[in-house]
Amino acid sequence: MRTRVSFPVAGVRCAGHLYLPAGSGPVPCVVLCHGFSGTMDRLFDHAERFAAEGFAALVFDYRGFGESDGEPRQVPDIPGQLADVRAAVAFVRGHERVDPDRVLLWGNSLGGAHAVTVAAGDPRIAAVVAQIPFNGFPKKVEGRSAGDTLRLLGAILWDALRGRLGLRPYYIPMVGRPGELAVTATPEADRHIETLTGGQQTSWRNSVAPRGLLQMMRYRPAEAAARLACPLLVCVAAEDRETPLETNRALAERAPRGELRVYPGTHFTFYTDPGFRDRVVADQIGFYRRASAAV
């Protein structure tokens, strides 16, 4: 059963969908956190899988994205998104079908960093899955020239200045081809965009205000991982250039109960290959089962 839900954060409505499994008793609940410019509709398949296995699952949009309220649009803000995740956790803990001591966090890319950070400050979280999580920028991005990097840095600083002046954000594409001005420039751009926009109705837009990348330069989820009281599963791709294996290995190693699983493929394989995604989610369900049983 899927129900449209909403919850307030600082007076602004966050929209979401709550999936409930069959039955009547309280169950563990997975709160799913999307990435830098993502929207919750890309996580419906994951939520359905979790619900089919007996978990409740909440997907939601951060303020300013997708179906949620908030202005300006498409502006990632780390403190604001962390507040959104905490509000989502509080919402499901108040639901009659959810066991408040078996709330599980799941995050993809930047959402993986958020899941780790929120759980580090909430000892009641039962477990965390961080999928291709952000844990600092790589020193060099393969395929991005020094000129491309300078152009992106210029866009970041210009957008940040416009934000300070109260002007409309300076938007750039989230995903572009190599050599284009975009947050992520990859040969897989066309396929990734098609995956995110094709086949079903979506609120995702290939447009984002890059000022949030300044905050990410100072964002250190590995420091939060060291404070985790619950188990952490980090799922990564061996050929990932955006969230490299070595940075994610450090995230798992810092966590007292961290576990790393490495899969063949790239950052975008998690989005573009349904069979691959099914295998990863099956591993995550097994991890959640073990963690929930231990509570």
Specify if 56 maps to a domain: yes
Token representation of residue 82: 């962390």
* Main-chain dihedrals φ then ψ at residue 56, nearest 5 degrees: -75, 155
DSSP H or E segment with residue 104: strand 98-108
pLDDT (tens digit per residue) in 92-131:
999 999 999 999 999 999 999 999 999 999 999 999 999 9
Instruction: Tell me which residue range forms the domain holding 56.
Output: 2-139+219-293
For residue 227, give Cα distances in angstroms to 47, 96, 121, 122, 251. 27, 30, 8, 10, 11
Euclidean distance between CA atoms 188 and 172, whole angstroms: 18
Q: What is the pLDDT of residue 178?
A: 87
Tokens 């190693």 correspond to what residue?
A: 253
Confidence of residue 201 (pLDDT cuts 50, 70, 90): low
Does residue 224 lie in a domain region? yes
In sign, the C-alpha dihedral spanning 149, 150, 156, 159 is negative
**Residue 29 within any structural domain of the chain:** yes
**CA-CA distance, 61 to 40, in Å (whole number)?**
5
Average pLDDT, whole number, for the chain?
Answer: 93
pLDDT exceeds cutoff 90 at 283: yes
Q: What is the mean pLDDT of residues 12-33?
A: 96
Domain contains 49:
yes
- Report how far residue 175's alpha carbon sits from residue 261's, in angstroms, rounded to the nearest whole number: 26
Q: Is residue 26 part of a domain?
A: yes
- Please state, in angstroms and rounded to a whole number, the distance separating the CA atoms of residues 258 and 51: 25
CATH number of the domain to which 60 belongs: 3.40.50.1820
**Which tokens is 269 given?**
């394989």
Provide the pLDDT confidence category of residue 143 given band limits of 50, 70 and 90: low
Residue count of the chain? 295
The answer to whether position 163 is within a domain reads: no
Q: Which residue has the higher pLDDT, 225 or 142?
A: 225
Number of structural domains in the chain: 1
Per-residue model confidence as pLDDT tens digits over 144-184: 788 989 999 999 999 999 999 999 999 999 989 888 999 98
Confidence at residue 139, expressed as pLDDT on a 0 to 100 scale: 72
Kindly list the distances between the CA atom of residue 197 and the CA atoms of 14, 188, 204, 271, in Å, as whole numbers in the listed order. Answer: 22, 14, 7, 12
Instruction: Supply the pLDDT for residue 242.
Output: 83
**Which structure tokens are listed for 46?**
């994951």
Spatial separation of the C-alpha atoms in residues 73 and 169, rounded to whole Å: 9
Residues 6+ apart with CB under 8 A from 229: 123, 125, 256
- Residues 249-276 have pLDDT tens digits of 999 999 999 999 999 998 888 888 889 9
Max Cα–Cα distance, the chain, nearest Å? 58
**pLDDT value at residue 54:** 97
- The answer as to whether 13 is a domain residue is yes
Distance of CA 253 to the CA centre of its chain: 20
Evaluate whether residue 50 is within a structural domain. Answer: yes
